[in-house]
Amino acid sequence: MNIRKLLFAALIIRILPVFAEDSECKLGGKWYCRQVFDGNGRQITNFRNWELISDYFVSPERDKLLVYHRPDKARAFLITLYDLRTGNIIAEREPGWACFGVSWMKEHLVYKWATTGGGMRFEYRNYKTLDVEKTVTAFFPFEDEEDDILIESSYFYADRKIVFRKFSDGNEIRTLDLADELSKRGIYTSGAGVSDIEKTGKRKYKITVGYNPSEEGHENEDCTTEIELEP
């Protein structure tokens, strides 16, 4: 019995560090020299004094850490990707604009930021170098990572189109003309834009569309309708 207890205790001791590695990273250090630490209290970053850590993101597998930061008196922010297993820096780049979030896809790190003209920009970055391999810009995007769908649309009536893409790599699946889709439902207009998108089922979406009717005397009326679309 005692031997069994000893074996069980030894097994628990071996398992505990694994679970500790899975815990969330956190900020720590002196107030003028903040750093990022892993769940075991191991310091990952090695920033100089007065470094501004604006945000950081841990991959779902807890093996990578992306930090959005700016060195003291520097004119630009940086993104630095760390390997949490070794604590080493994988790559570092100057992203250009504020980070709104990241998604950890199998082949790409998707870096998201707002564009100066409105909308969101999705940058598909290489995990080894953080180089941008593809970009997708949408004035009215909808992200559905669960079903691997990114909907690219716009609220401007003149744009009309709506693009279904694979979220994981940004590749186009299907492009639709909203004015054509409305005409199939007996609504005629020269332009249409998206004001809301709601997921209603697996790869099924309810799109709220704004438009001006083509009927004479009603061209300046702002109307809305809802249509169901699939990729």
Tokens of 89: 């820096």
Helix, strand, coil percentages (3-state) for the chain, rounded to 5, are 10, 45, 45
Cα torsion through 192, 193, 199, 204, rounded to 10? 30
Picking from 227, 108, 144, the residue whose alpha carbon sits closest to that of residue 179 is 227
pLDDT of residue 217: 60
- Give how far the C-alpha of residue 64 lies from the chain's centroid of Cα atoms, to the nearest Å: 15
pLDDT of residue 116: 77
**Measured CA angle at 102 (ends 96, 103), to 5 deg:** 140
pLDDT of residue 15: 30
pLDDT of residue 16: 31
Question: Which residues of 59-131 form beta strands (DSSP E)?
Answer: 64-70, 78-83, 89-93, 101-104, 109-114, 120-125
pLDDT tens digits, one per residue of 3-57: 443 333 333 333 333 333 444 899 999 999 999 999 889 999 999 999 999 999 9
Residue whose tokens read 């922010």: 77
pLDDT of residue 202: 97
- Asked if residue 104 lies in contact with residue 64, where contact means CB atoms within 8 angstroms, the answer is yes
pLDDT of residue 175: 97
DSSP alpha helices (H): ranges in 63-218?
Answer: 178-183
pLDDT of residue 97: 79
**Which residues of the chain have a pLDDT value below 50?**
1-23
Q: Distance between CA atoms of 56 and 36, rounded to whole angstroms?
A: 9
Q: Distance between CA atoms of 50 and 72, rounded to whole angstroms?
A: 5
Task: Output phi, psi for 13, to 5 deg.
Answer: -60, -35
pLDDT tens digits, one per residue of 75-87: 999 999 999 999 9
